[in-house]
Structure formats: C-alpha cells, structure tokens
Structure 1
C-alpha cells in the first residue's frame, strides 16, 4: 500500500521542475511544427513546391565520413611526433586471445586448482605424520632399553677402612716429626712425604669372563713410602768428564774462509713488467705522451739558434747574390769559408720556408731546400769542439781577442742596413719588371 501511494503521488506531481520543463519543451516543439506548416502553405500558394525530407536517425556513410577529425587551420607542430615510439609491426593474433577465456575454461581452471591444493594438503599431512610417529616409537624403544639394563656390578674395594686410617696416621706422624725438628741440622735428612700431585685413579676392573674371580691374587697392602732420589753419583760425573775430554780434543778453528756470492741475473724493471701483469692502458698512454713530448723537445732543439732565440731574420733570402759575393775573388775566401757560406744560405732559406717571419712573401707552394740532418750527438760534439777552439784562441792571443774577432755594434748596424737596402732595391726592380711585362 505504501508503494502504491508513493507512485500515485509521483504521477500526480505536475508542479515540479521536471514536469514544467517537459511541458515547455512540448510547447516549443508544437510552435516549431506550426511555423513550418504555415511556411510551406505560403510557399505553396506562391507556386513553390518544397519536398519534405525526413531526417534519418543514423549516419549516411555515402555522404559523411565516420569518426572524421578535421585538422585545425594553420601549421601543425610535428616536433612531438619525433619522440613518439614507433608502432609495433602487425602480427597474426589468435581469435582466442582477442575474445578471452570462456566461462567453461575459467570454471575448469578453478576446479583443477582446487584439486591440486587439496592433494598437496593431503600429502603434506601424511608427510608430517610420519616423523611424529617415528619420534614416538623411538621414545618407546629407549624406555624399554632402559628398563632392560642390568645393574652395575663393581669389584670389591682393594683398600679397606682400616688401611685408610693407617695411611692417615702415617701422614700425621710425618708432619709432626717435621714440626718437632724444625730448622735443626738434622732436618735435611727428612724428606717431604706428601705427594706433590694427586694421580688420577685407575679404570675400575671389569668382570672377568670364564668364571675367574675379580679379586686380584696379590693383596693390596699399604706400600712403604720411598725416600726421594739422591744427588747424581759418580756415574754422571764420569760421563761429564768424558764429554769435556772429547771437547778438548777438537782441532782449533781456522779463520781462512772465503765468501762466494751467488750470481744474480741482472734484470731491469721493464723486463719484469713485461713478464708479469699486462701493462695498464693509462700507463701506456702516459708513456706514449712522454715519448711524444721528448721527441717534440728534440725537434725544437734541432732548429737553428736564430729561430730558437727568436732573433731578427731577413724576410727574403737572395741565395744567388750570397753565392756571387762569396765566390768573388776580392772576398778572399778559402774553400772552408765557401762551404760555411753555402750552408748558411741553405739554413736561411730553409728557416724562411719552415718558419716564415712577418712581411715575408713565402707561399705554401714554396719548398724548402734540402739540408742534411745530423744526429744530436754529432751536433753536440761539433758545438763542444768549436767552443773549445774558441776558448783556446782567446787564451793564446790575450783577453782582447774577442773584441778583435767580433765586429763592433756600429759595424753590425751598418752591415745590416746595407743588406736590407740591397734586398729592397732588388725587390723593387723585380716588381718593376713584372709591371712592364704585364
């Protein structure tokens, strides 16, 4: 009854929000229908026929594109697609994998799982029951063995109570005698009758087989206490005397000995490293860099002294003019000086090509004249020889020899200016000839 009354109240509720909204929508729909009907009548009266098209509820696949997403206007940023993972290649997929497991398969799987769990529980209970049963049986067997054991049968004591009392009395008598004597001269004749250490008891005798009695035939009477042993007698003294005589008969030692050291093979640390563990890559690279740096330093040291000391050098070298000047008879040069001049010309040309100075007209196509390369040891010996000869010349001819051999600063400046002017004049002449030729 309560449910029926509640349903009636809901149906009779025509003043709620939902009822008002429904009535309003219905009124609007009726107004639209009347407006469209009036419009069609007016067009028909004017001679215009319109075909009414009923709107289909579904989608017209011939006219529309299902699930169409029209791109937005303008340029689209595709930078996010570069980091997007590529789709996996399409492979054949079984229909069973797409559809999933069926109810029957799920039920069978659960049933097999329950059966497996039940079997494990039954086997586990049986496994746990066996050790418990074995432990209980072992306890019962041990109890039966303990009840069946025989009583321990020990032999009769060898020392009775009377003998023990006699031993105690003898011990007391010895202590009393020592106390009475004290520190008298006769005390040295009395010994210490108390045992130093108590010896362990012997293993009790077991029952003999064959019906033999366990009591020993020799009675265990109290043994008379022994005196301590005396000082070693003449026998030990004779042995010591014989040993001393044998030691005296040994020959005297001789100090003429010679020490021979074992021969040790000279092995370097590098050889040991090669035979041992393989050299580390970082150590190998470090040694290679050090070797390259040493080679670079040696190469820089092979340059001429003018390049090493960064002295001023000519921007151009006229080898032909140098050769004509040196071969002129007025110069008065001998063969050795001519060789030195020729070598100087080669060095100047070589340094100008390899290490050009600012303002030079050397291009990359110019090649340096070939010069002979000498070993570093030979060059060091030559420098030392020249230095020794120069020092001996100064010592023989006096302290002012150096001033007489070397030109003054004024002469050097004049010569330098003259050479530069000649070179500039020659360059200007060459440029004029080139201009005239063009």
Structure 2
C-alpha cells in the first residue's frame, strides 16, 4: 500500500533551519522551490511560517500597555481590518487578532466574576491538533530521526550547498546513474554466478592501447633479486621526519586552505550584496546589550552630626527619666513620655500606589458588550459602558504614579501636587495619599490639637494594649463554692417558681425549633396512620371502579363469607377515595377531588387510634398464623410469592376498549384476549425501548470513562498474545535446535572416525608416493652419474 503523507503539522527546528537557508538562497518569491526541500510542508505553509514567525522583523516580545491601548483603539476605528492595523501596532495580523480575542475573554471573565487564573479555552488540550502551527515556536528535534527526515536533511544540504550551474548538476547526475547501472550489473552477475551460471563479459577490442587493461611503456624488471651490492648505504643519514604524514601533505594542506579562504571571501561578498542576510545578521542589534553601569547612590539626607544630636537627645531624656524615677514624683513622671522605640516599624515601608481602574480591561469590556448588543430598532435604554476617561490620551500614555519620600515627610504636612524635594514629580491633576507613609506621631502628653491628623491604627492599637494591661491586673477567679440546702418547703416552692419564670423566658429560636419538631412528630404519626399503599408509595388508580360491589337487586341471600367480603370491599372503596382525595399520585393529570369528596360525604372515613391499629395488626397476624398451621405452610419465600403473584396476575385481564381490568374467566371473547395481549406487548415494547435508551446512555458514559482503559487493555492483550506466540515459536526453535544438537552429538564420533580413516589412508598413500619418489630420484641420479 502506498504511504500517504499529509502536509502540515508542527514545525521542527530542522525544518526552520532549512527554511531559513532556502530563503537566503532563493529569496522570498520562489516558495514552491523552497517547499520542495521540505517534504512535509506546502509552499503556502512555508510562506506563512516565514511571514508569521521566522521573519527577523517580527516582534515576539510581551505586549505592553501602550500596545494594548493602541490595538483596542484601532480595532474600534477599523474593526476586522487586521492587516491594516498590524503595521500600526508593529505586529503581525495573527498576533493582533490573538491579542484582541485574549483581551475580550479577559474582560468577559472579569464581568462574570471569574478568576483570571482559570484555564484559557484557547489552549490546546492533550490530543488536540494546533490549527495554526505556523506562529508557534519550533519543536526540538528528536534524538533518533526517522529515515524520511534524514533523507530530507541530506537532500536539502546537498541542494543548498550546490553553487554550480546546471551543467555540473547534469554531469553529477549522469555519473550517479552510471554508477547505479554498474552496481546493478555487478549484482546481477553475482546472483547468476551464485546460481551456477557463468556469464562471459565481452569487451569491444580497441585499436591501440587499452589503458584500462595494459600499462603503457611498461618495463618489466629482470627475474630474480635486484643486486644492491654496489649501492652505498649510510644508516645515520636517513631522515625519517620528512616521511611523516604532516610534512608529506603540508603542501597540499596549504593549497586546500588557500582555496577555502577564497571560497569564504566569495561567500561573504555575496552575502553583503544581498539585503536579506544583512537583516538576519542585524536581528540581534534590535536590542543592544547595555553594559552594566556603576551603582550611584544619592547623598545621605541625614548627616552624621544630626545623628549624633538625636543620640544625645535620647540619652538626655533617659537620664531625666532616671532622675525622676529615683527622686521625682508621679506627676513629674507623667510629664515624660517613652520615646525609646518606634511603636510601628511597618509604617516606614513604601505605601501602596493609589487604586486606579484598568483602562485596558475597561475598553475590552466595552468592545465585548458592543459586539453583542441588540439592534437599536428594538428600542429601550442604551447599553451601559464603563468609564475610560482616566486615560491621558488615545496614544496609550499610562498614568504616572508618584512614589512618596518618607524621609522628608513631616508628621503634619499637608499633601500637595507641587513638585518638591520630598516626592517624585507628578503630573498635573494627580492626587496621592502621602499620609500613609509619614513618620508616625507619638503624642503622649496631648500637646497637639484634636483636629490634627493622627494615625488611627496606632491609636486603636494603644487603646487595645492599655485594655489588655488593665485586664491583666484583675485578680484571678477563685472556683470556691458551697452547696446550701433549703431550710423549708417554701424555699423549694420559691425556687420552682423562679425556674418556671426562667423557663418562660425562652429564646425565640428554641421556641421555633420546638414547634418544628412537634410539627414533624405529628406528621410522622399521621403518616404512620395512613394505608400501606401510601407509606410504601405504591401505584394507585386514577379511576375507582364502583362496580365491584354486589348489586342491590341481586337474587338470593348472602352467606357470612360473602357478607364479610362485601364489608371488605366497602372499606377498600372508602380507603381508595380517601387516598385519592388526600394523597393523590404524582402522575395525576386532572383533579377529581370533588367526586371523591362527594363519595366520602356519603361514606365517611373513620379515623382509628394507634391502639386500634395495633390490635387489628395483632389479630390479623394471629389469623395468618392459624391459616399457615391449618394449610401446613411455613414462611413464604420470594420464589413462592412470585409464583403466587404470577398465578393471581394471570387471572386478571385488561380491556383497552373499556379501560379497566376484569377477571379472565369473566369473558370468553377472543377479541378481548387479543387486545389485552397487544396492549401488554406494546407496554413491554415501550419499556424495552426506555430501558434500551437508558442502557445506551450508561454504555456511552462508561465508554467515555473506561474508553482509555479498554484500549489500554486491548493493547495489553494484543501484546500478551504476541508474547505467547513468540514463546511458542521460541519453544519450537529450541526443541528443533535441541534435536539437531542430539543428532550432531551422535554424528560427531562417526565423522571423526571417518576423517581419521581418511587421514590415515592419505598418510599411507603419501608415504608410498614418497618412497616411490625416492626410488625414482635415486634411479635418476644413478643414470645421470653413468652418463
């Protein structure tokens, strides 16, 4: 089957580098030729990747506040014209659209009261495919690249490194084809030779010298060793250093380096002539690296002399306090305050900047509301928009916050907008609360006026500390108590009256709770007095059949059993009407309380007490036990009950035409039985469809919850089956090799014996031949001597 490759997907680092090199060579117009280097990307995707990510002029830094305000303002003036807005904001159209949607979503979450840290719906979930991978960072290359990627990389390297013309390409291609034909022919001859077919190679006889088969002007050396007796030999003069590989290839190495330097100079010249490489080289110059300057701190605002004066004043105060504590009075001591430690060191921190509204979120909120507003033809009030009047200009100038200088703030200084040495210069119309950063005031002698500005938090803290101090001076509680018995009954009665008075003064919440408990108890008692049908929530009929009673004009007297049955039927009808009127079923579509009330007026419902109901249950249970003993029955289990229920239910027949149940023996019409069976079949079908729908929902839910586990289980089962097959195959191979080993063990001694016999036979033959040779040699020698 042919492998199908779908172009697209995430860009990798290798593909980005190939695209950069291809743009440097072919320019920004030949995208089809560039895409031919990337097997998995089309020309359109290559172009989008360059103009949305790889172009050095693209700004990839974080969006600033000025850019956000400018984007929202331009989107309000030119909606959906992103390619027009992009050069104004100095971003790409895709970046502008993505940032605009992000701001709208942020405003929407803010309006709905959601947290900004919630998941962004635009982020990809595991398993999802990115629809726009061209404007995302490249994925790093894997350690083990597949064959397609390696082939693409080698082909791109070869094509991009080729700086020759078309003729050189054709020559190289022809040479490669010729080499391929030669290798194919060689492989074919080897296969034929392995099959036992010898193929002769016929060469065209060339006129003249065949330089491939012969050596021109060859001088064959004489047979034997070369005579070197007359050649001088001095072993001390041999210089082996000149035979070193480095010295031998030094000249060739210098020539190669010279040629490489020429090529590098030519490449550098071509790069300088092209504008695109210059832009790429200047990419790092967009953000120049600034050298770290030397830290210059301002001059100290308090001199050493002033610090010494403060220390001396503190020492003088301490000395005065010591003298007063030793010799002075309490009145003198109260006139001296404690100024040793600063009460609250947290006040010297930089105060929080004043709270201002975020104009960017306000503008995004207004745009989001305007995009979903109804047509003005419907009338009504205008859509309320948030105020963005605190912007300095449409250009996006943000509000400048002034940081207060806590060292120069006096305790009771009035904050102003003028530029002084104590605060950072602020813009006109700006107001900041500098009192939060001033030195805290400690006025223990109440010298300052009450209308002056005090630190409320410090004052509250001092009040709390004073209160704790006063409470700590209270005496500890003593848990000593005595039990005193009343002296007379009058005192006991008085105590009971006081308890009654205390009980009467009960809390309203307790009274309400007691009333609710009492009401709940009464409801439970009333519920227990209801019929078992209501207590068990069993189905109840909407229509009550009054024809079950014996007709009044019936002939013949009734027996005692029939009279008892009639009484039971009458009581059953009363209970049915009472339950239908007071406890109607939930599936009742119409109200017939009037009919039920009319019947209950003529046949009143009698309320029974709990004792009467208990007596009736006991009487019924005793009668059931008597019947069980008489009939020889024990406890009825579920199987027997189901069997009896099926027998009783089979004796009842439902007539759809009359919409009522009758006894099966009361009718002999085949039509009624068929209609009843059809009705039962239809009910079973509806029930089956309902259960099938529920089962489908449950199956879908289980598939969603357990789909991953099922797929994982199938994969594991498949892996186990593969392992079992491998085990079986390995066992077969092991048994086969074991059988071969046994056969070899049995055959090796026979082979050794056979080889030993062959060797002995060969040695005997060789000795015989040597003897024969010796005889012939001696005979030849004797004949030669005779001659």
* TM-score, normalized by the shorter chain, greater than 0.5: no
Name the TM-score, length of structure 1 as normaliser: 0.31
Normalised TM-score (structure 2): 0.18
Is the radius of gyration larger for structure 1 or structure 2?
1
